[in-house]
Structure 1
């Protein structure tokens, strides 16, 4: 498989998880139309009131990198940054071994 899988976790300042999630969901709507996007989902853990998780599958890392140039994405990143409790950590890049729907 040559797809690109990225798991990320963003930690919001206290009380900002919901607003951060809204921004990321809006971003998912924008990048879901980008070339090579197979999956872009936002989640949270029931026992964690600060973190928001992002799971992305792309045809390639290059397609993922290009998605950051899609109109509106940079604006949403700028909107999300003040809500974060520190700089975002690098996402975890994983090798896809298989599975349904890919």
Structure 2
């Protein structure tokens, strides 16, 4: 589960089973608050059957469409993740709906 925490960062929480019988495994700060626009929409996707890479998309405080990628071993964000959407510097019109 990916959500914006009270500090505006993006949090990843891992639940290991269906919600009715699940146990909480872990919660990690994925994207620091200084990289995330408060109230941003959050979209996650994967493009393969094995679940990797996982992509998390959001809007930055400077209104740039941004993202982090899970490579199977680690999360990478800009500038380390040169293949992430952030590298394209797509600007978002304040107040618009993008995701």
- TMscore range, shorter length: 0.3 to 0.5
Which is bigger in relative contact order (C-alpha 8 A, separation at least 6)?
1
TM-score, normalised relative to structure 1: 0.34
TM-score, normalised relative to structure 2: 0.35
- More strand per residue: 2
- More helix per residue: 1
